[in-house]
Structures are given as structure tokens and as C-alpha cells.
Amino acid sequence: MIICPCKECRNVYQQSSSDVVVHLVTKGMDEAYKLQSEWYHHGDSVASAEGVSTTNQRNDEILELYKAAEYFDEELASKRDLVETPLGDLAEIAEDEDRREDEFLAKLADAEPPLYPSCLNHIKLSAIVSLFRIKTRNGWSDKSFNELLETLPNMLPKDNVLHTSLYDVKKFLKSFDMGYEKIHACVNDCCLFRKKYKKLDNCPKCKASRWKINTHSGVVKKGVPQKVLRYFPIILRLKRMFRTAEMAKDLRWHFTNKSSDGKLRHPVDSVTWDKMNVSIQHLQLKQGTCDLDCLQMALIRSI
């Protein structure tokens, strides 16, 4: 008989080991206990056997994120192989992903080697990310970081894979699609130079120049924009959030955390919440599409 760490027994009741296995599989483990670095009810051997180590957790997390991104592609690719004629949308995406798969595999191979052959704590990716974290957190200048990168590889053992310049590091990190878009804007806030205005040199409304003008000579410096808007695309980021198991669970929290016993604990259990869901579906069915304005109207009505 051992103490059962499942959600219902919560380390209070004792069960036979086979029952514990059944409990853990069907009910899951007690969340609070799961997060403990040492499972004190079950001795150290259990903890080490289950592979709970906090020291390498951050590194694992980084690799996990990256792997999740990579497996996503593999999954889609294999789906494509299994189903000969997948439905339109998925086929298109799978094809697109398939094209990118080779790139991803190359990137993964590039990111996974240890920092130097006998290094246990860091792989290339985690080393670069943690260095970059320190840079941003302390506001190091690009120059100082560049100089650090020039010196560091000399201090490390031979055959290390650390980049030697900031440019290389940035290029490496960019392959994660975590960058931002630069969109040129009119100085007088008339428009953004994107889509149909992409190639214009002057604002279509106020005729102001898109490029910087030298105040003394009046020469237009083509290629140097006056105003730049920075946009961090959200779709890719949301997609990536769904790729980590924990985040995906949190993202569906309102849907999965409805109470089943008919008692109210959160607005999600209320009648209004259900009504809202139904009315939004109605709107979408009726019009095919639904504007944010419609949603607002529906919200106001329900209140």
C-alpha cells in the first residue's frame, strides 16, 4: 500500500500500487503536488525516477517550445502522407508546411548541439537565449554585447558553437518567426505605406515625403523613412502558444472549466454566458461573417 497522489486521494488515502496507476491515469495527478520539486510523500527515488529536476527546467522549456514547433510540421506532413486527398484547406496548409519542413529540420539540427562537446547544461539555443535575456534585461548596448560575443568563444573549450557577432545571433533568433514588421507611416499620420501604398514616395493625402529630408540641403534621403510603425504579428504568436501543452490547456480554460454540478463559481457558469455563445453563433450563421460591432451590440443587449 502506498499513498496515492491523484486528484481525489490527494496524498491522504492509501491505495495498492496498481490502483494508484489506475488513479493517476484516469484522474490525473494533484496539481499542487505535481509542481513540487521533491515529491516528499514518495521519497527521493520516485522524484529522480520520474525525472523531475528544476535546474534544467528552463532549458528544457526552451527546447520544448522549439520542438513543439517542429513536430507541428511533422504531424501535418505525415497527415498528408496518410490521407491521399485531404480536404482543400488542410492540403494547402500541409503543402506550405511541407515546404517549410526542411527548413525547420535544418534549424533544429542547428539549434540542438551542446554548446561545446562535453557541455551538459546548455545547448546552443539555450545559451544564446539566456545571454540575450541578460542583454535586454540590463539594457546592454549592442556594441558591448557584440564585444562580449567576440571574447566568449575564446574562453570556452574548443569546438564550441557560439556565434561571434550580434548579427549572427539576431539572424539565428529570427528563424523562430518571433520578429516584428516595420511599417513606414506618413509623418502627419495620414496613412501607412502598405498594400496599395507600398511603393509610393509621398503620402497620397498630404503629399508629405515618406523619406527623411536633410534640413540643410533639402535633399531627400531615399530609403530612410521618417516614421516607422512596429508591428508584432499576433497570429503566429497565438499559434505558437497553442503548441505548448500547458499553454494550450490554459487557453481553453473558460471552455473546460465549466462547473458540472450546477453551481456558479465564475461568470462562465452563468446563463448569460451561454446566451452570448448562442447569439454569436446566430449572428455568424445569419451573415456568414460577423463584425466586432455586431459582437459589441450583442454584448450590450445581453447586459
CB 291 → other proteins: shortest distance, Å? Answer: 8
Radius of gyration of the chain (CA): 27
Strand stretches in the chain, DSSP E: 2-3, 14-15, 181-185, 211-213, 220-225, 227-231
Least CB distance from residue 301 to other proteins, whole Å?
19
Instruction: Out of 41, 254, 286, 301, name the contact with other proteins by CB under 8 A.
Output: 254
CB 225 within 8 A of CB 212: yes
- To 5 degrees, how large is the angle CA 216–CA 217–CA 219? 125
Beta strands in 161-281 (DSSP E): 181-185, 211-213, 220-225, 227-231
Least Cβ distance, residue 234 to other proteins (angstroms): 6
Binders of other proteins among residues 68 to 87 (CB under 8 A) are: 68, 72, 75-76
How crowded is residue 23: how many other Cβ atoms within 10 Å of its Cβ? 19
Which C-beta is closer to other proteins: that of 42 or that of 212? 212
Report 127-166 residues binding other proteins (CB under 8 A). none
**Closer Cβ to other proteins, 17 or 257, answer by number:** 257
Residues between 31 and 70 that touch other proteins (CB under 8 A)? 68
37-66: b or e for each residue (b if 16 or more CB lie within 10 Å)?
eebeebeeeebeeeeeeeeeeebeebbebb
Query: What is the pattern of x (binds other proteins, CB under 8 A) and - over residues 204-243?
Result: -----------------------xxxxxxxxx-xxx--xx
Amino acid at 119: C
Is residue 167 near other proteins by the rule CB under 8 A?
no
Question: At closest approach, how far in Å is the CB of 179 from other proteins?
Answer: 13
Binding site for other proteins (CB under 8 A): 68, 72, 75-76, 89-90, 93, 181, 183, 185-186, 189-192, 194, 227-235, 237-239, 242-245, 247-248, 250-254, 257, 266, 289-292
